[in-house]
Amino acid sequence: MKFFPKQLIDGYRTFATQRLPTEQSRYRDLSERGQFPETMVIGCCDSRVSPEVIFDAGPGELFVVRNIANLVPVYQPDSNAHGVSAALEYAVTVLKVKNIVVLGHAQCGGIRAFVDKIKPLTPGDFIGKWMQMFIKPGEVVEQREHETMQDFVVRIEKAAVFRSLENLMTFPFVRERVESGEMQLHGAYFGVAEGSLFVLDRVAKEFISVRDQLQSGG
């Protein structure tokens, strides 16, 4: 197995000897019946922000798609390939998930690249082009007067969640199920350093600390 990363082989060994024995029946059931997750999570590729770890989810419980900065594009039924849209289409129309969660996070490299207006990393400038979907035509995103850089970055990280939720509603099949009450959209934000989770109050338009709510018995 020298041709495969040792860390991954060691990880599988632990999985196969410790976790799998306790969940073998679940895997067999999922193999026979198929998957029926109730929640789709749209998260970032960042290796520190794993939805399955954050939400302590077992196999078959979450349908996850991850990309740079947890972005959702607007609905574009053209001839191009659309990875996020394809995953969304499957989750909503086939799996019929009841919830879609857009999970943003602190120290997001994609957002930082956008804020810093970095030069293209390659001639293709894939990250730069991808991050452009965050901006509406004619929209200007700049640091506010008296706003620290850290506060600016956090504001944009959270704004990316709002924008993705907004873009989700441009998909007819998403809008239809949301308006019928069959599905709900949610926003969340993960603080990497403290392992803290904040969920979006759509009415108040602010992120509420889950840990504070749990400690207060809410």
Task: Please state the residue numbers annotated as binding site.
Answer: 44, 46, 105, 108
What are the DSSP calls for the chain, one per residue? -TTS-HHHHHHHHHIIIIIHHHHHHHHHHHHHH----SEEEEEE--TT--HHHHTT--TTSEEEEEEGGG--PPP--SSS--HHHHHHHHIIIII--SEEEEEEESS-HHHHHHHHTPPPSSTT-HHHHHHGGGSPTT----PPTT--HHHHHHHHHHHHHHHHHHHHTTSHHHHHHHHTTS-EEEEEEEETTTTEEEEEETTTTEEEEHHHHHHTT-
Q: Residues marked as binding for Zn(2+)?
A: 44, 46, 105, 108
